[in-house]
């Protein structure tokens, strides 16, 4: 009898273990799985950095080289040279810079008939260097520089000598131009080149007060 009861208990225990195993398998097969995209860990944790950093992608188009710039520098006591300089800058698309004297010239200073006036005394003394207002102009990056001025007593005003001696024209083509009622450019361009001591100075041109855009354009094309 005791043996029968032991066999019965063993059989019941085996049945119980089989049922538990079936329920555990059913629970694993029906439990939902988190995808990689919705897992909080994958959304918040950044990917490990690569051992070799990524190189910048090459530009689709190469960077264009800087265009050569042009400058028009001028001194004008009565406005005549200013007008030609503005036409020249407009035709060439150049930057424009006015040489302004520290002590402006008055109408009395420019009286050609009076030998005691300021302009007359300056022109009679080649060593005079009138001061220019402001700081020296930076000429870096300018490939072509036009230098304009009126003709005084057959030459450039002494303030132009001040300007060219105060600046470095190395690497630039420098082209003088002048205005006058009748006198030509004479030696003024050569005087400026000698005083400057730098730059490639080309032959200049004289313009009258009524110079037109077309006249300026023709001159530029002839250089």
Q: Which CATH number characterizes residue 130's domain?
A: 3.40.50.360
Q: What is the pLDDT of residue 116?
A: 95
| Structural domain contains residue 132 | yes
- Per-residue pLDDT 10s for the chain (223 aa) are 444 444 444 444 444 444 444 444 333 333 333 333 333 333 333 333 333 333 322 333 333 345 789 999 999 999 999 999 999 999 999 999 999 999 999 999 999 889 999 999 999 999 999 999 988 899 999 999 999 999 999 999 999 999 999 999 999 999 999 999 888 999 999 999 999 999 999 999 999 988 899 999 999 999 9
| Structural domain contains residue 31 | no
| Structural domain contains residue 161 | yes
| Structural domain contains residue 15 | no
| Structural domain contains residue 149 | yes
Token pair, residue 130, equals 């009138």
Residue 214: C-alpha distances to residues 85, 131, 186, 208, 217 (Å): 14, 35, 24, 13, 5
**Kind and range of the H or E run holding 43:** helix 40-44
| Structural domain contains residue 45 | no
Q: What is d(CA 79, CA 62) in angstroms, rounded to the nearest whole number?
A: 45
Quote the domain boundaries for residue 74. 69-222
Phi and psi torsions of 148, nearest 5°: -115, 150
Q: What is the pLDDT of residue 182?
A: 86
Would residue 168 be called left, alpha or beta, if left means φ above 0 and alpha means ψ between -120 and 50 degrees?
Answer: beta
Looking at the structure of the chain, the number of domains it has is 1
150: which strand partners? 179
Question: pTM to 2 decimals?
Answer: 0.70
| Structural domain contains residue 30 | no
| Structural domain contains residue 59 | no
Q: What is the pLDDT of residue 108?
A: 96
**Kind and range of the H or E run holding 206:** strand 205-207
């Amino acid at each position: 009898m005791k043996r029968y009861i032991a066999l019965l208990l063993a059989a019941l225990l085996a049945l119980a273990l089989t049922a538990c195993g079936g329920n555990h398998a059913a629970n694993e097969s029906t439990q939902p799985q988190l995808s990689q995209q919705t897992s909080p860990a994958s959304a918040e944790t950044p990917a490990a950095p690569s051992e070799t950093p990524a190189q910048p992608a090459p530009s689709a188009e190469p960077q264009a080289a800087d265009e050569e710039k042009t400058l028009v520098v001028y001194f004008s006591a009565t406005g005549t040279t200013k007008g030609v300089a503005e036409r020249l800058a407009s035709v060439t698309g150049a930057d424009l810079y006015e040489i302004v004297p520290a002590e402006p010239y008055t109408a009395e200073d420019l009286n050609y008939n009076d030998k005691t006036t300021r302009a007359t005394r300056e022109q009679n003394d080649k060593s005079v260097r009138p001061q220019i207002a402001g700081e020296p102009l930076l000429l870096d990056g300018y490939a072509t520089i036009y230098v304009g001025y009126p003709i005084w007593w057959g030459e450039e005003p002494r303030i132009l000598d001040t300007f060219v001696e105060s600046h470095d024209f190395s690497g630039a083509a420098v082209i003088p131009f002048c205005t006058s009622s009748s006198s030509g450019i004479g030696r003024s361009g050569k005087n400026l080149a000698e005083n400057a001591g730098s730059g490639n100075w080309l032959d200049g041109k004289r313009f009258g007060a009524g110079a037109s855009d077309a006249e300026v354009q023709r001159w530029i094309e002839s250089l």
